[in-house]
Amino acid sequence: MKALIFALATALPQFSTDQNNIAQHIINLCQLRDHSAKSIESLFLKTGIAKRYSVLKDFQSPLEEATLFNKNFLEFVPGTQQRNDIYIKEAPKLALAAAQKAITMWGRPAQEITHIISVSCTGVMAPGIEFILQNELGMRDDVQRLGINFMGCFGAFKGLAIATAIAKENPSTRVLVVCTELCTLHFQISVKPEVLVGNALFADGSAAVIIGCNKLPEENSLWSIEKSGSCALKNSQDKMTWVASNHGLVMTLARDVPKIIETEAPKAISKFLENIDYKNLIWAIHPGGKAIVEAIEHSYNLNKEQTASSWEVLKNYGNMSSATFLFVLDDLLKNKQHNKDTVGIGFGPGLSLEMILLGTN
């Protein structure tokens, strides 16, 4: 008995800004000049990102009109509570939009959902997003709820794995998984390269899937979930971190992460794929950055068609942490590439590698 993905949908905040405009806003915000300003422009240009979305209008507004990142930023850096208050207000709304779209695609009443899993690492709230969704979607009072928090960029993989286990335990269950991240709330002022990279990559977004077994006649299945896997890469605990500070959550990404991935990840991926011919797979790689996707491409000599959706998502949305992998799957749907077996690859704090194999129906 295999778990199936019945629906998949994404949602974005209303504000979007070109990458070069974000760079200029940060240059003005931090009052950078000459070499420092050119370094920021160069860093942002090299990301391969064209546009990013945010719940904040700040990056498309004059400094005088910005909410968090305004003309007083250097003197009064926004605190963690101020940032988190925006998360509490905005994250559930974005999650609800993604969930509603997924349920509409599924074509069944929300009351038939038996479990809700909310995945997020960019804010703190209790009751959690999963509780709010239960009420806003008009679900039954006995819906089982779970919050998966602070798993970082591979959070969607864990949500899918847990949903699969629940579905296999009882074929009548239907599990809603919603990944919601507001990464732009946590912009940091720092000259450290490992922090600057985060400022150049991260964005906001939400995505939702519905998973279950034993497809009903009126249900459509997009993929079957064949198996999932996980591997903690050795000696990498400090290579990718996400920690609380007095001024929001601070993401650090070491420069040698792509090299570690290129050296260590193929061992785990090849073991996971076993005798499967990887040359015939679509590769849905979490686009944590250009170098990460390139590292996997180089390791397996992949062509651009196999990884096209990862590049499209990076270009059009940036890195939305846990939601990003589901955006890659959504791009596969839009381009009618879900009729091929797909391997999903994600990386997150640890440094941890997560894998999932999706089959066709």
Locate all alpha helices (DSSP H) within the chain, ordered by sequence: 19-29, 34-46, 80-106, 129-136, 155-169, 193-201, 257-273, 290-300, 308-317, 324-334
Cα separations (Å) of 3 from 20, 61, 147, 361? 42, 45, 20, 11
d(CA 5, CA 212): 7
> Tokens for 82?
């101020």
Q: Please give the positions annotated as active site.
A: 153
Cα separation, 63 vs 234, in Å, equals: 44
> Other CB atoms closer than 10 Å to residue 299's CB: what's the count?
16
Give the closest residue to 160 by CA, choosing from 339, 293, 346, 340: 346
Secondary structure letter of residue 76 according to DSSP: S
Token readout for 46 is: 């090299």
| Amino acid at position 113, single letter | I
d(CA 281, CA 140): 39
